[in-house]
Amino acid sequence: MIHIDFLSSIYPLSAAKVVDIGAGDGTYARELARAGAQVTAIEIDEVKLEQLQANSHPNMQAMLGRAEAIPLADGSQDLACMFFSLHHVPEEVQEAALREITRVVKPGGRLHIVEPFPYGSMFDVVRMIEEETKVRRRSHALMRDLAQRDGFQLLEHKDYVLTRVFDDFDALLTKIVYSDQKRSNALPDVREEMQQVFDLVGETTPEGRAFHQPCAAYHFALNAAG
């Protein structure tokens, strides 16, 4: 997992208390747990929470919660992570979410956010079912702003490409559409065009059709200014 590999290279995950905010189906929470972290996976969607709980790890617990209302005690976490989830947090509560993160992470702790850019072959497919150009741009702008604020010290910033491989179009739908009710409801109107884009931009590999998503990781020390 490229996200966890990079994070592990700059931060010692073993025995760290980590909250994964917007954990989705738990893919990255489980990788954090396998790396030795004690993980609390927070998810707003009850269906995805059930998936999290059904596919857990001994080092992991899953809880219902929101980025702007994290059900954890003050200063209880060493590290907060958001993998491709910040742009899903409504703009009007993003500042509240940042305040919550600084509340639950201990002074001197870390914040690690990875956000996708609004381009790449994976984005070309995703935008057929949900247009995210504006929210993705906004999340990167917020990260640039955050790096200038008191209390946040940007320690690492790295651009890289996440590659996802799917056996076929239905496998992609299972991963990015069927687990989201809003996207599922929109699918009948765009399915044909979406499959055309899948066939056009997907890279044929021995493992299946590969799609590339450029993204950026931002790693902050919190309360760095005292």
Q: How does pLDDT run across 63-119, given as a tens digit for each residue? A: 999 999 999 999 999 999 999 999 999 999 999 999 999 999 999 999 999 999 999
192 domain-assigned: no
Question: Residue 155: its pLDDT value, please?
Answer: 97
207 domain-assigned: no
CATH number at residue 39: 3.40.50.150
191 domain-assigned: no
Overall domain count for the chain: 1
- Mean pLDDT (the chain) is 95
pLDDT tops 80 at residue 128: yes
Question: Residue 223: its pLDDT value, please?
Answer: 83
199 domain-assigned: no
pLDDT bracket for residue 179 (50, 70, 90) = confident
Torsion over CA: 47, 23, 85, 203 (sign): negative
68 domain-assigned: yes
Q: Which domain holds residue 142?
A: 2-116+132-161+214-222
pLDDT digits (tens, 9 = 90+) for 137-149: 999 999 999 999 9
Q: How far is CA 101 from CA 75, 79, 94, 106, 107, in A?
A: 9, 9, 11, 9, 11
209 domain-assigned: no
Q: How far is CA 138 from CA 60, 67, 86, 127, 167, in A?
A: 31, 17, 10, 16, 32
